[in-house]
Amino acid sequence: MRLDLVKGFHTLVADFAATAEGYLDDCVAGNMGDGDASCGKFLTFSRFFQQGTHLLANHRPTRPSPTFPILINSPPPSLTDSRSPMSAANATPAPLSRRFSVAPMMDWTDRHCRFFLRLLSKNALLYTEMVTTGALLNGDHDRFLRHNEAEHPLALQLGGSVPLDLAACARMAQEHGYDEVNLNVGCPSDRVQNNMIGACLMGHPQLVADCVKAMRDAVSIPVTVKHRIGINGRDSYEELCDFVDTVRDAGCTSFTVHARIAILEGLSPKENRDIPPLRYDVAARLKADFPELEIILNGGIKTLEACHEHLQTFDGVMLGREAYHNPYVMAEVDQQLFGSTAPVISRAEALAQLRPYIAAHIDAGGSMHHITRHVLGLGTGFPGARKFRQLLSVDIHKAKDPLALLDQAAALLEGR
Ligand SMILES: Cc1cc2nc3c(=O)[nH]c(=O)nc-3n(C[C@H](O)[C@H](O)[C@H](O)COP(=O)(O)O)c2cc1C
C-alpha cells in the first residue's frame, strides 16, 4: 500500500478517535442532556467512515486497524438477536399502531434504550435515532440497523433528501425487518441543514414528495413523515397545508407533527425544542382540514391524561423527552390507551427483566453503562431514587462487579 494512503488513513483514524473519545465521554457522563452534540458527532463519524472507505476503496488493509475494536462496542452475536430471553417472552409483537409512540431521539433511543422501553409497553411504537442515508450507504449498515426482535413494533427514521438514496435505505430497513420507515423533516441542526436533511426540507415540499414516492415505490412497509408546523420564513398555515398536501399526493398518509416551528438560524436544536411556542391549535386545524390523514401530535406531552385528551382530536400521540426522563410514564400505556388487561409492570420487575439482557451484553464485551444510562429515569419520585441514579451513573464506573451493583440498585426499587 502507498505511504501517502497509509498516512491519510492514519490521520482519519486519529480524527475519528478524537471524536469517538468525545462521544464516549458523553456516554460515560450518562448524557441525560443534549443529544444534539452527539448528533453532530454522529454525523462526523459517518463522514470519517466515508472518507476512510474512499481512501481504502482499492487498498483494503490485510487486517483491520487495531484502533477500531477498542472504539466500537463489541457487537452482540447477531443483527437481530433472537437468542435473548426477552425475544422469547415477546414472541408475538403487538401490531403496528401509532396511537402512542416514543419519538426518535439521537443518542437516546438507541437499541438498548428501546429494549428497555419495550419492557414497559408492548404496544408503543418505538422509533430509532435518525440515521442518515450517507451513514447507511457508506458505513457499516448492519451496525446502524441492528436491533432485537423484542423491540417491535419498530420504525427506522432516516435523514436524507436524495430520493434514490432514501429508496435504497428504505429497502434496507424493510430487509432488516423494520415495521415502518420515517423521513425526518424536523431536525433543525446546522449540520444536517448543510446536508439538506431535516427541517430545512419543509421549504422544499416537492423534494420531500419525490423522496416519499421513491421510498414508497421501493418498499411495502409504511413510509411516514415527521415534520414541524413550519420554519422561519415559511410558517404560515397555508404553507403548512401546501407541504402536507404535496407530500400526501406522493402517497404519504401518516404525518407526525411536532407542533412548533423550527428557527433555522440563531437557535440551537435544544432551544428549537423549547423556545418556539407549541401550537396544538395549528396541528388540530391540520387534522380538521385533512381528516383522511393520520395525524400524530408531538411536542410537550408529559402525562397519560394529556394523551387521552389529545387523542380526542388526533390519531396518535408521540412522547419524546418525558418518555426518556420518566420512562415509567409508559407502564400504563397498554392498559390505558390500548385496552390491555395485562397487569402493569412494576419498576422492580422491569429492571429484573432487563438483567439478562445486560448480562448478555457484558458477556459480549459491552459495558453495563451502555444500557443502564437509559434507565436512570426509573429513579424519580421516591425515597432512595437519588441513590439509585448515583449507583448507576457514578459508582458504575468504579464497579468491579457491575451486576452486583445492578442488584444493589434494583433493591432500591423493591415494592415500586
Ligand atoms: C436528545 C434528543 C434527540 C432528538 N433527536 C431527534 C431525531 O433524531 N429525529 C427527530 O425527528 N427528532 C429528534 N428529536 C426531537 C424529538 O423527536 C421530539 O420531536 C421533540 O423532543 C419534541 O417532543 P417532546 O416534547 O415530547 O420531547 C430529538 C430530541 C431530543 C431531546
Residue 200 appears among annotated catalytic residues = no
273 lines ligand 1 (CB under 6 A): yes
What is the predicted pLDDT for the residue at 55?
37
Residues of the chain above pLDDT 90, percent: 75
- Whole-model pTM: value is 0.82
What is the predicted pLDDT for the residue at 33?
35
What is the predicted pLDDT for the residue at 195?
87
Q: Which band of pLDDT confidence, cut at 50, 70 and 90, is reported for residue 4?
A: very low
- Which one of 187, 200, 211, 252 is the catalytic residue? 187
Question: Given a cut of 50, is residue 80 above it in pLDDT?
Answer: no
Rounded Cα gap, residues 347 and 378, in angstroms: 7
Pairing of strands 125-132, 100-102: parallel
113 lines ligand 1 (CB under 6 A): no
310 lines ligand 1 (CB under 6 A): no
305-339 b/e (C-beta count within 10 Å ≥ 16 → b): eebeebeeebbbbbbbbbbbebbbbbbebbbebbe
SS3 content of the chain, % helix, strand, coil (to 5): 50, 10, 35
Question: Given a cut of 70, is residue 61 above it in pLDDT?
Answer: no
What is the predicted pLDDT for the residue at 115?
98
Rounded Cα gap, residues 296 and 319, in angstroms: 10
Q: Which DSSP string do the residues of 296-341 spell out, in sequence order?
A: EEESS--SHHHHHHHTTTSSEEEE-HHHHHSGGGGTTHHHHHH---
Tell me the mean pLDDT in the region 213-226.
Answer: 98
Give long-range contacts, CB 8 A cutoff, 24+ apart: 69-73. 71/16, 71/17, 71/20, 71/24, 72/143, 73/365, 73/366, 73/367, 73/370
pLDDT tens digits, residue range 172-203? 999 999 999 999 999 999 888 788 999 999 99
Residue-averaged pLDDT of the chain: 84
What is the predicted pLDDT for the residue at 91?
62
Pocket test for ligand 1, best of 273, 307, 329 (most atoms within 8 A of CB): 273
Distance from CA of residue 249 to its chain's centroid?
A: 27
Least reliable range by pLDDT among 91-95, 221-225, 255-259:
91-95
Which residue is listed with cell 388526533?
A: 314
CA terminus-to-terminus distance, the chain: 60
Question: Given a cut of 90, is residue 252 above it in pLDDT?
Answer: yes
Q: Which DSSP string do the residues of 64-120 spell out, in sequence order?
A: --THHHHHSPPPPSSSB-TTSHHHHHT-SPPPP--SEEE---TTTSSHHHHHHHHHH
131 lines ligand 1 (CB under 6 A): no
How far CA 250 is from CA of 78, 166, 231, 254, in Å, comes to 36, 14, 21, 12
**How many helices and strands in the chain, by DSSP H and E?**
19, 8
∠ CA 147-395-69, rounded to 5°: 45
Distance from CA of residue 337 to its chain's centroid?
A: 22
